[in-house]
Amino acid sequence: MLDLYLTNRLIDLWLAEDIGHGDITSLTMIDADATGAFNMNARQPIAVAGIEVAAACFRRYDPSLTIEVVVKDGDRVPDKTTLLKVKGKARSLLTVERTALNLVQHLSGIATETARWMDAIKGTKAKLIDTRKTTPGLRALQKHAVVCGGGANHRLGLDSGVMIKDNHIAVCGSIAKAVERARAGAPSLVKIEVECDRVEQVKEALAAKADVIMLDNMSLEDMRTAVKLVDGRIPLEASGGVKFDTVRAIAETGVDFISSSKMIQGSPAVDIGLDEA
């Protein structure tokens, strides 16, 4: 669920960026009292994300517009599905059109790609999660889109959990010392995850009582060894170099989570248009 305060702050920035000092085309061509009615339609099969934010773009610019959201975020819909209906002042509709479409095309692209990955690992226990490799300013929305596609979120930010990486371990001296310091200083409900790139490190992280272990760029054989070693005592996350073509094999090793940036960074915008009703 997206916070309305955060969303409206972002919408103000998006509209200001696109409108500038005014929509010259609409202001010079469209009469002030002219009205219109348009439908936002999917032009390919998609997983929907950002439709309420798209509606909020129209409402934010002109509260007098009448908007009907037809689908929900997370819905998988076929080609030619109407997502949203909007009517009212023609100038307002045409001024906001591109901002609303850009947003829902981008987020639904992420959701659609995530859904494709989720279908690829169906039947395994693995859960697909995202990373912090997001577009600055759009993280909350992009991570929301991953959830709409059936995935889940990793850390929302650096304050969401402790992630002990190789450089942290090098500075602290060992995995045991790093976990000990994190445990002493972090809030009580914060989980501590340790990144391991060798099975020997998995043994150290397990002995140090980490909450989660990340298997970083490990081979399938090493992942299977780690799964057997941990034996379900704590969750295991596979990460690093994950591709669509390899995600099924990784899931079949028995890991609990698979993290990848590809659902966000590698997703194309889907085809959605605003057509006259």
Q: How confident is the model at residue 66 (pLDDT cuts 50, 70, 90)?
A: very high
Cβ–Cβ contacts within 10 Å for residue 99, how many? Answer: 21
Average of pLDDT values for 211-238? 97
Q: How confident is the model at residue 1 (pLDDT cuts 50, 70, 90)?
A: low
- For residue range 4-25, list pLDDT tens digits in order: 888 999 999 999 999 999 999 9
CATH topology of domain 119-265: TIM Barrel (3.20.20)
* Cα distance from N-terminal residue to C-terminal residue, the chain: 30
Chain-wide mean pLDDT for the chain?
96
Phi/psi-derived region of residue 232, left when phi > 0, alpha when psi is between -120 and 50, beta in every other case: left
Is the distance from CB of 149 to CB of 263 less than 8 angstroms? yes
Average of pLDDT values for 227-240? 97
- Whether domain 4-117+268-276 has CATH 3.90.1170.20: the reply is yes
Domain ranges of the chain: 4-117+268-276, 119-265
User: How far apart are alpha carbons 103 and 276 in whole angstroms?
Assistant: 20
Instruction: Output phi, psi for 98, to 5 deg.
Output: -70, -40
Share of the chain above pLDDT 70, in %: 100
Q: How confident is the model at residue 3 (pLDDT cuts 50, 70, 90)?
A: confident
**Which positions are annotated as active-site residues?**
98, 133, 165, 195, 216
pTM value surpassing 0.85: yes
Cβ–Cβ contacts within 10 Å for residue 214, how many? Answer: 27
Is the distance from CB of 48 to CB of 111 less than 8 angstroms? yes
